[in-house]
Chains A and B, each alone.
Chain A
Amino acid sequence: MLFRIAEKTELKALFDMLAEKNTVVGPVQTDTDRKGKPLFAFEQITDQGKLRLDYTTTRLLAKRYFLPFREDLATFTVNGGDWTKDIDYHIDRPYVFFGLHACDINALNKLDKVLMGNVYPMPYYVAKRMNMFIIGIDCRPQPFCFCRSMGADTVLHGFDLFLTDIGDKYFIEVLSAGAYGIIKDLRTETPKESDHLQYMRTVAEKNKLFTARVDTTDLTKILDMEFQSPVWKQWGDKCLGCGTCANVCPTCYCYGVEETVDVGLQKARKTKSLYSCNIVDFAEVAGGHNFRPERSSRLKYRYYHKHRGFVEAYEESLCVGCGRCGEACLAGITVPEVIASVRGEEQ
């Protein structure tokens, strides 16, 4: 890893350099909530003035750029009794992601394990992921952030550049050769020992700000032990079964496939839509049998997949602790509270 230091004024130069010939996606303010707080989302931007690197969080990740909610896996042209199948991975250019937080980059790294591994890699994701140029930005922990508990508050790979605001300068991690090619045209310096110390102080200060936490000790075992725990029923009673937690989750990738015939009967399509395990028919089979008819069993399954199954497979959790699910849940179901209740801790 190469480290550089740059004056904050260089940010605009970096942005303009990339935006001139590329499509840039970054955090912008899209709304103001009923309490007057800004709401942010990732959108395409051409003007650096719109970029809000001080954003707290976004409700949705920039999922549409690498894991669209709806995507045709194939289209068919039907001709008499015969058909042809056409496949398109739906990507035509590289995208620059300007300002992802560590949690969201960690989320991509986790998705990579499922969708980019060597057992049936998913080309629709791979083709898009290979065309992401990612600039990370450090963040200020919010009351709902428990990324530190999940080991996702810092990120080691999966990005090109990572910027940390250390007061009057940016401390820059340069990870990829492509990023180096850009950095060399910016005015940057080799960090001095005092910059290193300033970086470490910044991180130490940030760590003090975390308030939410999840105890993951022995969690896979505890989830097994508490499979019959009454707390699942209590959370199930609260759950709306609306699927919002999955839709705002940066690591949820479950989906459903539906095939449709166009009204003219000449074209057909096979469409993938991200789905949520909290929806009533997630585990329903063709004959009508439902393996998880109760909301509680579906909510429990979600925790099992994230905090047990994925750990078993990859020795890490499928949760980055971004807290979006809890923030977006109208019923106020949060991961720290659910896990604490399963562990029998006072809430």
Chain B
Amino acid sequence: MDHRLAFHNVTPHHHKYHRKADLDSFEFTYKAEITSVYRLTEHENLYRIRIMDSEDRRHFSFRPGQFIMLEIPGVGEAPFSISSSPSNHEDIELCIRTAGNLTGVLSRAQRGMRVGIRGPFGTSFPMEHMHGGNILLIAGGLGLAPLRSPIAHVQEHRSQFDHVDIIYGAREPAQLLFKFQYEMWKKDDINLHVIVEKPDPAWTGDVGLITKVLESIIKGRDSTFIDNTYAIVCGPPVMFKFVCAMLAERGIPMQKMFVSLERRMHCGMGKCCRCNVGSTYTCLSGPVFDYWSVLNLKEAI
């Protein structure tokens, strides 16, 4: 009578394709190379990262609003919204503020450094649903980082949208991100409105909070415009709270406004619970939520 129990051997092995249900996808990392580091402001860099395996690179795809987990072995891993166009299969662009451990080391990274990326994870902005409508792309501060991917979608599908406005508020002119793109956006028939809280002597644009410029924009629009308008709002909670309230007041339904929430994540896959808002996983149910859902999340604002 040998009652030795059978051992179910679950050993890690690498598949070429990674599905959510595969056990091995949990800790699977694409090895990627930093191809350029572009300094945007004193505290923010734009990192271009390329998945090294050419086949993996071709298969890697994401939707605007999704994030990846970026890892420097031994240093740490953290979530970052993808800032580039989903149609670019060469490089992934990440706009990252130097704020902590991982980003501190990253800011000293040289071109050619090999990092790990996992993902993409999370929900995305439903861009195709917005086709045929007007779109308000509203960002406060670093919120322009997650907004740049939907902006790229709009640029590439410009004929699918009616009026397009980018409304961007920053604390001071020196903190403005992606300045080199403003002219390009305008050429793509996008109305760009930039406002800063603290101007410097060279500043000639609007001064004040983002709601100031937003108010003047939506005031002048008629109800036909409002009925056919979507909004994507990215920024700190205090900013999107006031912006969304203003848009709701003007008559845009809450389920047509989308926000992206920022939380610390340790896994990105609905396990570690660090990103939970109330009892909702930001990594699985978010980071993109419609505003109605956000209002129903305890602790969100």
Contact between chain A and chain B defined by CB under 8 Å? yes
With the chains together, A73 CA to B101 CA distance in Å?
20
Q: B3 to chain A: which residues have CB within 8 Å?
A: 17-18, 20-22, 181-182, 185
Q: Is the CB of A94 within 8 A of B5?
A: yes
B25 touches A120 (CB 8 A): yes
Interface residues of A in 117-149 (CB under 8 A from B): 118-124, 126-127, 130-131, 133
Query: Considering the complex, which residues of chain B in the window 261-301 have a beta carbon less than 8 Å from any beta carbon of chain A?
Result: 262-264, 266-267, 269-274, 276-280, 284, 298-299
A33→B276 CA distance, assembly (Å): 38
**A-chain residues with CB within 8 Å of residue B24 when the two chains form the complex:** 123
User: Does B202 reach chain A (CB closer than 8 Å)?
Assistant: no
The answer on a CB contact under 8 Å between B262 and A259 is: no
A257 touching B26 by the CB < 8 A rule? no
From A20, A91, A255, contact of B272 by CB (8 A): A255
**Residue with the highest number of chain A CB atoms closer than 10 Å, among B24, B100, B298:** B298
Interface residues of B in 54-107 (CB under 8 A from A): 71-78, 97, 99-103
Known contacts A119-B270, A122-B271, A185-B1: does B264 contact A283 (CB below 8 Å)?
yes
CB-based contact B12/A123 at 8 Å: yes
B273 touches which of A178, A305, A308 (Cβ 8 Å)? A305
As a 0/1 sequence over residues 110 to 128 of chain B, the CB contacts with chain A under 8 angstroms (1 = contact) are 0011101000000000000
In the complex with contacts A73-B27, A114-B270, A259-B76, A309-B276 CB distance below 8 A: yes
Closest chain-B Cβ to A247's Cβ sits at a distance in Å of: 15
List residues of A (273-321) whose CB comes within 8 Å of B's CBs: 275, 277, 282-287, 291-292, 297, 301, 304-305, 308-310, 312
Cβ contacts under 8 Å, B114 to chain A? 81-83
B13 nearest CB across to chain A (Å):
10
Q: Which of A223-278 contact B (CB under 8 A)?
A: 224, 227, 253-261, 268-270, 275, 277
A81-B114, A85-B29, A94-B5 known; A119+B272 contact, CB < 8 A: no
A322 at the interface (CB under 8 A from B): no
Q: Across the interface, do B264 and A286 meet the contact criterion of CB distance under 8 Å?
A: yes
Q: Which residues of A contact B224 (CB under 8 A)?
A: none
B279 touches A123 (CB 8 A): no
The 8 Å CB contact of A257, one of B29, B263, B267, B298, is B267
Given the known A-B contacts A123-B26, A286-B99, A309-B278, are A22 and B10 also in contact in the complex, defined by CB atoms under 8 Å?
no
Q: Kindly state whether residue B180 has any CB partner on chain A within 8 Å.
A: no
Secondary structure at the A interface, as helix, strand, loop or mixed, is mixed
Interface residue from B7, B25, B112, B279 paired with A310 (Cβ < 8 Å): B279
B12 & A89 in contact (Cβ 8 Å cutoff): yes
Give complex CA distance A114, B26 in Å. 13
Number of A-B contacts (CB under 8 A): 167
Q: Are the C-beta atoms of A133 and B21 separated by less than 8 Å? A: no
Contact in complex: A254, B273 (CB < 8 Å): yes
Residue-wise interface mask of A (47-64) relative to B, using a CB-CB cutoff of 8 A (1 in contact, 0 not):
000000000000000000
Q: Which of A88, A124, A258, A283 contacts B274 (CB 8 A)?
A: A283
A287 CB contact (under 8 Å) in B27, B29, B99: B99
Check B7 against A94 for contact (C-beta < 8 Å).
Answer: yes
Interface code B241-275, partner A: CB below 8 Å = 1, 0 otherwise? 00000000000000000000011101101111110
Additional A-B contacts beyond A94-B6, A133-B5, A257-B77 (18; CB < 8 A): A18-B5, A74-B27, A83-B73, A92-B7, A114-B271, A119-B284, A120-B20, A126-B10, A127-B10, A259-B74, A283-B274, A286-B99, A286-B103, A304-B279, A304-B298, A305-B273, A305-B279, A312-B279
Q: Which residues of B contact A (CB under 8 A)?
A: 1-8, 10-12, 20-21, 23-27, 29, 71-78, 97, 99-103, 112-114, 116, 262-264, 266-267, 269-274, 276-280, 284, 298-299
Could you show 23 A-B contacts with beta carbons less than 8 Å apart? A17-B1, A22-B3, A76-B74, A82-B114, A96-B5, A120-B269, A123-B27, A127-B8, A127-B23, A253-B271, A254-B272, A254-B273, A255-B271, A255-B273, A259-B75, A260-B74, A270-B71, A286-B100, A286-B101, A287-B97, A291-B263, A304-B278, A308-B278
